[in-house]
Amino acid sequence: MNFAELTKLLFIAVGFSADAFAVAVCKGLAMKKATLKEGAICGAWFGGFQALMPLIGYFVGALFAEAVSVVAPWIAFVLLVLIGGSMLKEGLEKGCDCEGHNADLSFKTMFVMAVATSIDALAGGVSLAMDGVENIWLAVTLIGITTFLFSVVGVKVGNVFGCRYEKIAQRTGGVILILLGIEAVLSYFELLPW
C-alpha cells in the first residue's frame, strides 16, 4: 500500500468518525464530569461498530464488485456523496442536536447509538469494495482506531465546551466524504496524478 492509498484511508476514517464524534460530544455534554473511562466506553462502542459495519459492507460489495466493475466508481461516488451530503446537511442545520441525550452508558443505550452512528459506514464499506480497496483489514482498523480516539476526545470536548464543535465535525466529515466520492470518479478517468 502506497502513501496516497494510506492517506485516502485516513481521510475515510476521519470522515466516518465525524458522526460518532458528534454523538460523543452530546454524551459528554450530558455528563456532570466526564472521566477517561466513560470516554473509553463510548470510544469502544463507536469505534467497534464503525470498524464492523464497513467490513460487512465491504464483503457484501465484493460479491458484486466484479459484476459491476464498470460502474463501480460511480456507485462509490453516489454512496459517498449521499452519505457526505447528509452529514453536511445535518452540520449546517441550526441548533444543537444534543437535546434529549443523557449520560447513560448502558448496553442497550450504547448499542442503539453505535448502530445508528455506523449505518452509513455500512454503505461506505460497499463503496470501499467498489473502489478496489485491497487491504480491508487495515482500512477497518484505521477506521476503528480513529473513531475510538475521536469519540474519547468528543466526550471530553462536550463536557468542557458543550455543542460548539458538534456541527463543525459533521460538516468536516461530510465534505471529506464528498471529496472522496469525487476522487473515485476522477481516478477512474485517470485524471489524478496518483
Residue 79 located in a structural domain: yes
What DSSP line would sit under 55-87, residue for residue? Answer: HHHHHHHHHHHTTTTTTHHHHHHHHHHHHHHHH
Determine, yes or no, domain membership for 99: yes
Residue pLDDT, tens place only, 28-68: 888 888 899 999 999 999 999 999 999 999 998 888 766 76
pLDDT of 142: 95
Total domain count, the chain: 1
Residue numbers of the domain that contains 63: 14-29+36-188
Could you tell me if residue 2 is inside a domain? no
Which cell numbers in the block locate residue 126? 460497499
Reported as a single tens digit per residue, the pLDDT across 112-148 is 889 888 888 888 888 888 777 888 999 999 999 999 9
* Lowest mean pLDDT, pick from 18-22, 84-88, 190-194: 190-194
- pLDDT confidence of 194, banded at 50, 70, 90? low
Per-residue pLDDT of 59-85, as tens digits, reads 988 887 667 666 777 877 888 888 888
Structure confidence at residue 41 (pLDDT): 96
Is residue 107 situated within a structural domain? Answer: yes
Higher model confidence: residue 190 or residue 175? 175
Q: What is the pLDDT of residue 148?
A: 98
For residue 194, being part of any structural domain is answered with: no
Q: Which amino acid type is present at position 50?
A: Q
Pull the grid cell for residue 30. 450530558
In a domain, 139, yes or no: yes
Residues 6+ apart with CB under 8 A from 141: 51
Residue 1 lies in a domain: no
Domain assignment present for residue 5? The answer is: no
Average pLDDT, the chain: 85
